[in-house]
Amino acid sequence: MPLPKPLPPEKLYHRCNLEQFTFDTTAELEDLEGLIGQARAVEAVKFGIGIRQEGYNLFVLGPHGTGKYTAVRQFLEQKAATEPTPADWCYVNNFEHPHKPRILELPPGQGSVLQRNMDQLVQELRTTIPAAFERDDYRTQKQSLDEAFSEQQEQAFKELQARAQKHSLAVIRTPSGLAFAPIKDDKVLKTEEFQKLPDEEQDKIQKDISDLQIHLEKTIQQVQQWEREHREKIKKLNREVARFAGGHLIEELRARYEEFPAVTAYLNAVEEDVIENVDDFRRQEDESGAAPALEATPLPRSLRMPPPFRRYQVNVLVDHSGNHGAPVVYQDHPTYQNLMGRIEHMMSQAGMLTTDFTLIKSGSFHQANGGYLILDAHKALVQPHVWESIKRILRAGEINIESLGQMFGNVTTIALEPEAVPLDIKIILLGDHYLYYQLSSLDPDFNELFKVVVDFEENMDRTAENNMLYARLIGTLARKEELLHFDRSAVGRVIENSARMVSDSEKLSTRMQGIADLLREADYWARQAGQETVAAEDVQQAIDTQLYRAGRIRERMQEQIQRGTVLIDTAGGKIGQINGLSVLSLGQFSFGRPSRITATVRLGRGKVVDIEREVELGGPLHSKGVLILSGYLSARYIPDQPLSLSASLVFEQSYSGVDGDSASSAELYALLSALADVPIKQELAVTGSVNQFGQVQAIGGVNEKIEGFFDVCRARGLTGEQGVLIPASNAKHLMLRADVVEAAEAGQFHIYAVETIDQGLEILTGLPAGERDETDQFPADSLNHKVEARLADMAQNWQAAYQTRPDTGW
């Protein structure tokens, strides 16, 4: 295979062809509707919104910044605008069981109307009922009943007195009630006088008193019965007066809601309760109706009415009076109470916490009922008990408001048990791919409840058509955010940077957040320069300043290399030593850093020791890459003899974890150099993984890795011999910085795209790698021959050592 030549400059950076654009600035372009590059996600959203079967809720997955929320919300609002506005929901008092408030469903906007009607009704009843009891006809009837009762009492007392007089006894009042006492000459005998009477006379008086006492008890019982009957007559009269005073008011209200049976049934109950508790309307109320502790604080509307009348209020849980179409709700803080609703409490005058149905508050499920609820999946999962509650509500098809204490049985006191609200909702969860696959794998209920997957792309093809869509997108964002418009050169530079963002010259980023930030910053620099449009130079300045703001750590690491603290050679040749390349990511900023990789070999049992793994600094992917090296050596060299070497590989001056297999080709080059005793050119750095057949495979972060080594070489002076070896399959990903491309064009820095280890060896050592001939032997002057000869010699030495000392094992 011929030795690869350095890639030409046009392969290092794929410029945007400005000739494809027919506009001068984005002001000439039409606004872009919808998303670009998300056809799959758009179709899934439309399907998920349209289907109305159980369990077809949506899970929207994709990386942050792809516009998931904005796109989904836009589609939801468009669809919701064409759908009917859902009903209002109100809680009202359950007069039979006050701890179980009832729910009323009303047409949109009618909940607040009913609330006002009930407030007005109560105010009118508080006026008309007391007035009715002040009328002369009521007083006359009540007086007549009182007089009849008094006459009955008086008659009974007279009969009792007459019976007592027949027995020379008088009826007297004592602190303990009525009693009998003997009289003589119309005077009540004192105790001393009574004791002086003859015994026979005393016994007769005692007997008469006992007989009269029995009659007294019967009389008292009769009077009590008459008193109860009197109270009932008064109560009946009061009920009739109350019904007369307020019945027509309630009847008028009932007539307005005759098409709503639940409301009319509620008004019937209100009427009966008003009549039954008419005294509440007659007595003088405390108009504040609030505990002293609350008087300094403005009271909620539901607490401004005096306590006896709050039970007639209407608690509008959900009010759609100002809405048109189905609701679209996004809950940014999905706690249990924010989603499911809550029951608030107030401090009573006795210092106790009390509550009633007017203190029931809605949650996002209530507000989105009949429409759509958008939640961040991760936020919902980290909140206690929220995920299980969401699943329970979806399965039950209704919303129950209960505290966590009630749910887990920790509250033993009587608590409100509001009637459940029927649920008709579609939930949209937003999350990333990892979270979706974890839920799908670990939660058996998840796939039944969230059947629609909306998968957002991270990138799209870089075609002429998509370039034009990108230009329209830039113009749309400029108009929306009142930015300066972008000329053709600026559009081209944004497109080129978009390809760099996804590390692929043939793709464009769909992460609109990063693009929008770049447009805003380019607009800032253009305005600073007093320009009327944004040019490519302004976009470049925005890119450069972004990198500068985040680049402190990169500069410090480069400084350590230049000062010799971190040892990196960029000239000469070294045996078993090579410059590997890695990428560090700090937040959203990534940069490349060269690392010295060294290898040593000696006689042993065929083991390649990964020092990083031995000290638990190497991750599993890095360890896998090192283990592949043993497979490559066994398959490529002396296949009929066991490997008899012991090799050590290490990242020098590495004090943190190492993972990934992108350095496995560099480690193999260092190992082969040590075996062949051939130096590797230190002017070159290497990246790429390798398989057991010696093929160099693609890796990530190729642009940052090249630029990291370039910065070291440039600081020391470019010699024209320096460069980087990358996998040939990574060539399409190159979108290098302008200074790197310029150096390559001037022949001062080279990028080699290699397909096999043999190609890399020839570039790194200057020697031919060598292929086996018809006798299955490598050419004598080739590097592979040197490696195989060294391995064969080790095998012979190991065999000799084994024959001398069999206890060494094989």
Catalytic residues: 662, 705
Per DSSP, the residues of 333-391 read: S--HHHHH-EE--EE-TTS-EE--GGGEE--HHHHHTTSEEEEEHHHHHHSTTHHHHHH
C-alpha 371/C-alpha 271 separation (Å) is: 36
The answer to whether 208 and 197 are in contact (CB under 8 A) is no
At 770 the three-state DSSP class reads coil
Q: Which of 283, 288, 324, 314 is nearest to 303 (CA)?
A: 288
How many Å separate Cα 698 from the centre of its chain? 36
C-alpha 532/C-alpha 526 separation (Å) is: 8
At 144 the three-state DSSP class reads helix
User: In the structure encoding, which two tokens stand for residue 636, read together?
Assistant: 């490529």
Torsion angle in degrees (nearest 10) through CA of 501, 502, 503, 507: -120
C-alpha 597/C-alpha 651 separation (Å) is: 5
C-alpha 541/C-alpha 519 separation (Å) is: 11
Residues 6+ apart with CB under 8 A from 425: 365, 368, 369, 370, 371, 372, 373
C-alpha 792/C-alpha 790 separation (Å) is: 5
638: left (phi over 0), alpha (psi -120 to 50) or beta: left
C-alpha 436/C-alpha 455 separation (Å) is: 10
602, β-bridge pairs: 646
User: In the structure encoding, which two tokens stand for residue 534, read together?
Assistant: 């944004």
C-alpha 493/C-alpha 502 separation (Å) is: 15
DSSP 160: H
C-alpha 182/C-alpha 207 separation (Å) is: 12
Q: Which of 273, 262, 254 is nearest to 105 (CA)?
A: 262
Residues 6+ apart with CB under 8 A from 738: 13
Write the single-letter amino acid at 485.
H
Q: Which of 781, 751, 773, 748 is nearest to 763 (CA)?
A: 751
Rounded to 5 degrees, φ, ψ at 494 are: -65, -40
- As a whole number of angstroms, the longest Cα–Cα distance in the chain is 161
What distances in angstroms separate CA 93 from CA 103, 104, 244, 768, one per listed residue?
Answer: 9, 11, 24, 93
Give the helix ranges, DSSP H, for 167-300: 191-195, 199-256, 261-276, 279-282
Torsion angle in degrees (nearest 10) through CA of 710, 714, 718, 723: -10
C-alpha 4/C-alpha 473 separation (Å) is: 41
The answer to whether 728 and 6 are in contact (CB under 8 A) is no
C-alpha 764/C-alpha 674 separation (Å) is: 13
Residues in the chain, total: 810
The answer to whether 357 and 92 are in contact (CB under 8 A) is yes
Q: Which of 311, 320, 201, 217 is nearest to 266 (CA)?
A: 311
Burial class (CB in 10 A: 0-12, 13-18, 19+), 350: exposed
What distances in angstroms separate CA 388 from CA 64, 338, 446, one per listed residue?
Answer: 25, 15, 11
At 679 the three-state DSSP class reads strand
User: In the structure encoding, which two tokens stand for residue 243, read together?
Assistant: 């019904």
